[in-house]
């Protein structure tokens, strides 16, 4: 006997779809803030598609037998994609992000140093090197491990998150 759609377990992505539809209904004035809050609580505690259908049944555009966008999703693949996400220049996005953060922090420190030096009338001790140097050395080591050794910390994070 085939499983009835109403009895199938809903996934987090299905609950998120219902939450977004409820937010749209609130924005359209179809739900009061109290109704929205109550239904949102029900959404995140729903277990089946039937539970989610009951939350949306009185809203326009809902058709539980095939016309709804709320349909059982495909099972998630067991193995995550191990390829690192890359920026336009071929570097992993996390690598571009950490170097960008370094550049911003060092730039802010150099600008502050320059303003202090200008107000003092002479160059003061160049303290931004203590921000740029050690942090830059750690980033160089990280970059080397990615480029030369092919190490990918993103895949390690995914493994821990998924287990």
Taking the chain (163 residues) in consecutive chunks of 10 residues, what is each chunk's mean pLDDT?
A: 77 90 90 91 91 89 56 52 53 81 94 95 94 91 77 50 48
pTM value > 0.85:
no
Q: State residue 85's pLDDT score.
A: 54
Cβ within 8 Å of residue 31, ≥6 positions away: 22, 25, 39
Q: State residue 5's pLDDT score.
A: 80
Q: How far apart are CA 125 and CA 11, in angstroms?
A: 58
Cβ within 8 Å of residue 130, ≥6 positions away: none
Q: State residue 159's pLDDT score.
A: 46
Q: State residue 128's pLDDT score.
A: 94
Select from 92, 72, 74, 90 the least CA-distant residue to 82. 92
């Amino acid at each position: 006997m085939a499983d009835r759609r109403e009895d199938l377990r809903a996934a987090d992505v299905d609950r998120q779809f219902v939450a977004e539809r409820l937010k749209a209904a609130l924005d359209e004035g179809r739900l009061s803030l109290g109704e929205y809050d109550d239904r949102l609580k029900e959404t995140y505690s729903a277990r089946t598609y039937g539970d989610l259908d009951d939350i949306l049944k009185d809203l326009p555009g809902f058709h539980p037998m095939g016309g709804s966008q709320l349909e059982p999703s495909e099972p998630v693949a067991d193995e995550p994609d191990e390829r690192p996400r890359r920026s336009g220049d071929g570097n992993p996005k996390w690598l571009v992000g950490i170097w960008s953060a370094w550049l911003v922090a060092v730039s802010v420190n150099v600008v502050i140093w320059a303003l202090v030096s200008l107000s003092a009338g002479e160059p003061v001790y160049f303290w931004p090197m203590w921000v740029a140097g050690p942090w830059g050395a750690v980033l160089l080591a990280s970059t080397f491990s990615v480029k030369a050794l092919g190490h990918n910390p993103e895949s390690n994070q995914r493994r821990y998150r998924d287990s």
